[in-house]
Copies of this chain bind each other. A is one copy, B any other.
């Protein structure tokens, strides 16, 4: 951390900062300019914790952190890609993982039909929500445990591992019983009680970026899970909230190369939520793979026009099968497979 003193800070103010640095167990490095003094704070420990305290000291203009706040999630901590096992593949490796299925589990028939369809088209895993976070309390909230049972049955029939959202920390053990991957939804990215619960569960996690979270906050949320020794974490870019109205969200495609550079964790893209309209899902999927995504999570519904949620952004099985073909071509163009 660097402490930038105000122009005209007094000797007393400067030595006040120096004393405080030493008292906290760090080493001060003084750099006196003609106008202004700058004090480097050097040492081990989480000096960031004291940023605001230094900023409130007399004579201090501001502080500047030098290192980033995430550790276990960083490439510095682990240079090689973390490979997360999923259905015999390793997400983060050469092959693009494709998680597909409906937004919500609506009935046994619906999820089984969806599961067989996405399996046939070449999906790696099945998605489907049993617990749904809905803006309105009057909207369909999911089938709950019944939905989890249908998902498990779909896995049995197709062999596809199941990805499903968990919202209630108390239900993490139950969801673990049925699901292969616990999804943390965008609205819960900073629900720390839940992050701790899935961290402890030692289950694979798909962590979605909050709709207005920075990439740094996403990495810090991952850090919560990693700090429990649970390293099977996949990050998911699913679009952020902006002023643009023609799409449901703005797909932050930059996040893919930026996160790949900063973290060893695999990056999954969600073109369904990132666009909000099925017409754009294929183009966005192609873009994601071209930009370096390790996988995709895509909403597929056997009958989108009857979907109880997210019908607008759901592909029919036919369109999904076409998408799989176009994705394969892009994957090859970036020396990967799908």
Contacts and interface: CB of A to CB of B under 8 A. Distances in A.
Interface of A: 2, 4, 7, 27, 29-36, 38, 40, 42-43, 46, 48-49, 52-53, 55-57, 64, 66, 69, 71, 76, 133-140, 167-170, 187-188, 190-193, 211-212, 214-217, 220, 223-224, 227, 240-247, 250-258, 261-262, 274-275, 279-280, 283-284, 286-292, 304-312, 326, 329-330, 332-334
Given A56-B312, A137-B220, 16 more contacts: A27-B34, A31-B38, A34-B43, A52-B307, A53-B306, A133-B192, A135-B190, A137-B224, A214-B243, A214-B246, A215-B244, A246-B254, A257-B283, A283-B290, A290-B290, A330-B333
30 contacts: A2-B38, A29-B31, A29-B32, A29-B38, A30-B31, A31-B40, A33-B42, A35-B42, A46-B138, A49-B138, A49-B140, A52-B307, A55-B312, A69-B135, A69-B136, A135-B217, A137-B223, A137-B227, A187-B190, A188-B190, A214-B245, A215-B246, A240-B242, A250-B252, A254-B274, A258-B280, A283-B292, A290-B290, A330-B333, A332-B333
Main secondary structure of the interface of A (DSSP, over half): mixed
B245 A216 contact: yes
Nearest to A311: B52
A106 to B, nearest CB: 12
A120 B64 CA distance: 37
A138 B69 CA distance: 9
A27 to B, nearest CB: 7
A311 B212 contact: no
A129 B308 CA distance: 39
A123 to B, nearest CB: 20
Contacts of A333: 286, 326, 329-330, 332-333
Which of A64, A167, A257 has the most chain B CB within a 10 Å cutoff? A257
Nearest to A245: B214
Nearest to A42: B33
